[in-house]
Structure 1
Amino acid sequence: MESNSILIVEDEEKLARVITLELEHEGYSTTAVHTGKEGLNLAESRNFDLILLDIMLPEMSGLEILRRFRRKDAVTPVILLTARNEVPDKVSGLDLGANDYVTKPFEIEELLARIRVLLRYRREESAPADEVLHAGDLSVNLLTREIARDGVTIEMTPREFDLLVFLMQNKNQVLTRDQLLENVWGFDYMGDTNVVDVYIRYIRKKVDLPFSSPLIQTVRGVGYRMKGS
């Protein structure tokens, strides 16, 4: 079986070397570069299964790389590596389409766990070309990742998309926060548990608030349910 390929964009060469050795020990194929421009060029010119992207880079920031890369590729998982603890950087990265982030210094086992989760979901995401989910007047094409409600196109980040898809795949069922964490973020998720409520709020702003009839229901003390026929 061919190994997963991972691009490492990290200007701290010693850290990049440590990550490279650990990933290769786990059986991954790696490519490491140390500047923003090199990272963007490789990300756009070659196919990788996952990208580890530092935010603070010479020549071009990681957030700028992410912004440009997501114009062409909305699927490849991206994990941000950052020494910053400020919330705005993390929020900006997620808004631009990052799938996850790890704050330095981090334990390599934490990074490996997050990589495993994202690669597993990428393998499970494949769907037939004509598979389209519906909930009322909301539709999601699993192949093209196009979302529309009542003829209006809706844009979402990769994580928002994954959460919406899981809700629609289980429409009219009450899903607990634990179920959503396990199936959208993965068994190995190590972040805040209130992330479910945060992302439900994000997608509600896009699929419910602009329209007259809300589709996502809160079931108090339990979780959430997607209405729809």
Structure 2
Amino acid sequence: MHVTIVDDQPDILDLYEQMLGQHFRVTCICEPQKVSPFLKNNQTDLLILDVNMPVMDGFEVYRVVRVDFPTLPIIFLTGMNSTEIAVKGLSMGADDFIIKPVSIEELIARVKNKIIKSKVAYANQETLIKLDNFELNCNKQQVILDGREVSLTPIEFKIIHLFVSNRDKIFSRDFISDYIWNDTKVQMQNIDTHLSNVRKKLSPFSERIKTIKSRGYVFK
């Protein structure tokens, strides 16, 4: 996974490169006007933008980048603890807004989450999925099993769509919570209830959803 970080302070970039470089391939850019040309010639999975840059601030860089890269995951990073600034960044369409100081563990987790979620969203663009006696139609929000339509709630449909679109990928409860509700704080009991309903309604096909102890769930 390739992460590009933009900050006008070289010492800060060096620190991020040391910390994140153990988990990702990292490119650091200290001149914001060079970001868009770099992205046009180099594949990257996620962009981290510092908001407070004097020549060209993070918001301006964001606008320029979005013209050519509308789906690239972008995270804003700032030392200003301002609700107004955070709302501005998220309203523009940023994937996350992080207030410094932030622990390296949290930053790594957020970056991984956004990259994986982006790849899942790309995989989920397929509108018609057929697997043996199972058929899922995204346009109609419809599931057919053994030739008969199965009535699913919107959340149940989203859950089974996530799994059948991403075979052999393990999804943690936190990821499912964030993917379905955009909130990792949803009670785990709610996730278990919805998964249980999906398994009952789509049995025996749903037996392909396996529980991986201490890790989450996977569709085989």
Greater helix content:
2
- Distance change >3 Å, CA 32–CA 72, structure 1 → 2: same
Contact preservation (8 Å) 2:4, 2:46: yes
Give the alignment of 1:85-164 within 5 angstroms. Answer: 85-125=81-121, 126-127=123-124, 129-131=126-128, 133-134=138-139
SS in 1 for 2:15: helix
> What is the match of residue 183 of structure 1?
176
Cα deviations across residues 111-159 of structure 1 (Å, max 9, x unaligned)?
A: 01101111221232213554573468xxxxxxxxxxxxxxxxxxxxxxx
> What is the match of residue 196 of structure 2?
none
**2:10 counterpart of 1:6:** no
Q: CA deviation at 1:58?
A: 3.2
Paired amino acid for 1:24: G
- Distance change >3 Å, CA 168–CA 53, structure 1 → 2: farther
> What is the match of residue 154 of structure 1?
none
SS in 1 for 2:44: coil
TM-score (norm 1): 0.56
Q: CA deviation at 1:71?
A: 2.3
Give me the whole-angstrom Cα distance separating, in 1, the residues matched to 2:9 and 2:56. 15
The percentage of counterpart residues that share the same residue type is 22
- Distance change >3 Å, CA 101–CA 128, structure 1 → 2: closer
SS in 2 for 1:74: coil
Q: CA deviation at 1:182?
A: 4.3
- Distance change >3 Å, CA 166–CA 120, structure 1 → 2: farther
Structure 2 unaligned segments of length 5 or more: list them: 129-136, 142-153, 161-171, 187-220
Paired amino acid for 1:16: L
> What is the match of residue 60 of structure 2?
64
> What is the match of residue 206 of structure 2?
none
Structure 1 unaligned segments of length 5 or more: list them: 137-164, 172-178, 195-229
SS in 2 for 1:25: coil
Paired amino acid for 1:43: L
**2:7 counterpart of 1:18:** no
Paired amino acid for 1:59: V
TM-score (norm 2): 0.59
Number of matched pairs: 154
Give me the whole-angstrom Cα distance separating, in 2, the residues matched to 1:128 and 1:69. 23
Q: CA deviation at 1:100?
A: 0.7
Q: CA deviation at 1:48?
A: 0.5
Contact preservation (8 Å) 2:177, 2:185: no
Cα deviations across residues 59-110 of structure 1 (Å, max 9, x unaligned)?
A: 2111111122222222221111111111121111112221012111111111
Contact preservation (8 Å) 2:45, 2:115: yes
Contact preservation (8 Å) 2:175, 2:184: no
**Aligned CA-pair RMSD:** 3.3
Q: CA deviation at 1:36?
A: 1.7
Contact preservation (8 Å) 1:166, 1:184: no
> What is the match of residue 158 of structure 2?
169
Q: CA deviation at 1:37?
A: 0.6
Contact preservation (8 Å) 1:117, 1:185: no
